[in-house]
Amino acid sequence: MQVYLDHAATTPVNKRVLEVMLPYFQTEFGNPSSIHQFGQKALWAVDQARQTIAEALGCSAGEIYFTSGATEANNLAIKGYARAHQKEGKHLITTALEHHCVLNSCEDLQQEGFEVDLIQPDSSGVINPHEIEKRIRPDTLLVSVMFANNEIGTLQPIAEIGQFCRQKKIFFHSDAVQAFGYEKCEVNQLQVDALTLSAHKFYGPKGVGCLYLRKETVLRPILSGGGQENGLRSGTHNVPGIVGMGKAVELIEQEREKNTRAVREKRDLLWDLLRKIPDVRVNGDLEKRLPNNLNLIFTEVNGEALLVRLDLEGIAVSTGSACSASSTKLSHVLLALGLDEKSCKSSLRVTLGKDNTEEEVRYAAEKIKLIVEELRSLRL
């Protein structure tokens, strides 16, 4: 049996998404920047997708900018705003839980003379908004906090953080890549100035994402070229990808509640089965987390060995972020929770999807139990 339980890394493209994409590879292949009919048909398709995403986020279509994915969108939001407004201040605030593209963007800006404050979470992976508020200075330019963590699934109080950022007129950005599939991301309710999405995290295609940017916000582009996306993001539009993202957003808006119930039910079943294993515990807050996420520590078990053995049984899981899976470094997220090296190396991430079945969950639980027992016995 093949069981995919790594949906935080990527998701399969929904068949209905693929169907709407296919014409834009062959028959409707025009460049949206062209003024002839082929180009205008492609432009219409891009505009329709933009409108769909805008409606989902509760903003205007002119506030949506397409990118190659969330990494580019996060870089554009953080570097683009910081560089455009550095005369107003050079102090940035983010958290120790952020995706590497956010942390590395901030590190790049440090090399340019910016100062970065890194907020630590509590032991359950939740950021206290007051800790951010206490760090705000007269020269604070930007705050960036992810909505949901990609490793441990914890949800952050974005609206509360957004409220005091708005009051203090500080640019507030949130990476909502993992959250969008399960949480409403209406930008006015969240009180964000910028928000990023990536289609392949919610059953859309890879290689396309978008940045919501509040109207009249000035960014400095990070790419030079033909001036597409209102001059903010140069490069020929990925029309099939954009069309696919629009459809994926449409479907998520229709099916979010149903999908959330389905994955939470299977996730809770999996935890009920796995908690019977001795010396296993959950990383992150059990309540304030995505409904599909389980990040577990199996004491005295090497997580990499467990992952490999599960792969041989046809079960796909992860030990952390797929965006840095080739790295031998310990998870910065787990370290931020206060875990020691041994615990970090004993962790496993399981993230379910809308199509996982009870049979798959029970099969995975049984294999995990058997392999954990075997790996522990080898240490005796």
Neighbour tally for 156: CB within 10 Å: 23
Give catalytic residue positions: 323
Q: Which of 251, 274, 300 is the last residue of a domain?
A: 251
What number is the average pLDDT over the span 122-148?
97
pLDDT given for residue 328 in this prediction: 65
Answer yes or no: do 273 and 360 share one domain. yes
Q: What percent of the chain shows pLDDT beyond 70?
A: 97
Residues 178 and 224 in one domain: yes
Q: With bands split at pLDDT 50, 70 and 90, how would you rate the model's confidence at 380?
A: low
Q: Chain-centre distance of CA 260, in angstroms? A: 16
Last residue of a domain, one of 226, 251, 276: 251
Same-domain check for residues 82 and 127: yes
Indicate whether this model's pTM tops 0.85: yes
Q: What is the structure's pLDDT at 327?
A: 54
Query: In this predicted model, what pLDDT tens digit does every residue of 295-354 receive, in sequence order?
Result: 999 999 999 999 999 999 999 999 975 555 555 689 999 999 999 999 999 999 999 999
Q: What is the pLDDT of residue 126?
A: 97
The CATH number that applies at residue 110 is 3.40.640.10
Q: What is the extent of the structural domain holding 102?
A: 15-251
pLDDT tens digits, 238-254: 999 999 999 999 999 99
Of the candidates 299, 297, 313, 300, the one whose C-alpha atom is nearest the C-alpha of residue 350 is: 297
Query: Which pLDDT score is estimated for 329?
Result: 84
| 57 and 23 inside one domain | yes
Strands (E), the chain: 3-4, 64-67, 91-95, 115-119, 140-144, 171-175, 194-198, 209-213, 280-282, 293-298, 315-316, 347-351
Lowest mean pLDDT among 222-226, 303-307, 359-363: 222-226
Residue 252 in tokens? 């998520």
* pLDDT tens-digit map of 39-78: 999 999 999 999 999 999 999 999 999 999 999 999 999 9
Same domain for 79 and 193? Answer: yes
Average pLDDT score over residue span 86-101:
98
Residue 367 is predicted with a pLDDT of 98
Cross-strand partners of 154: 289
Same domain (yes/no): 219, 291: no
**For residue 294, what is the domain's CATH number?**
3.90.1150.10
Of residues 188 and 231, more confidently modeled: 188
What is the chain's mean pLDDT, rounded?
96
Q: Identify whether residues 189 and 231 lie together within a single domain.
A: yes
Alpha-carbon distance of 97 to 10, in angstroms, equals 19
Residues 296 and 231 in one domain: no
Boundary residue ending a domain (206, 234, 251): 251
Q: Rounded mean pLDDT of 21-34?
A: 97
**CB contact at 8 A, 284 and 343:** no
With residue 50 as reference, give the H or E element that holds it: helix 37-57
Instruction: Supply the pLDDT for residue 321.
Output: 52
Q: Is the pLDDT of residue 133 over 90?
A: yes
pLDDT (0 to 100) of residue 136? 97
Residue 158 pLDDT > 70:
yes
- Considering the domain architecture, whether residues 98 and 180 belong to the same structural domain is answered as yes
Instruction: Return the axis-axis angle of helices 37-57 and 239-274, rounded to nearest 10°.
Output: 30
- Does 60 share its domain with 173? yes
Structural domains of the chain, count: 2
**Based on the domain organization, do 105 and 245 belong to the same domain?**
yes
For position 282, what pLDDT does the model report? 97
Verify that 246 and 281 share a domain, yes or no. no
- Decide if pLDDT at 35 tops 70: yes
When pLDDT is cut at 50, 70 and 90, the band that residue 378 belongs to is: confident
pLDDT at 232 over 70: yes
Mean pLDDT of 348-376: 98
183 has pLDDT over 80: yes
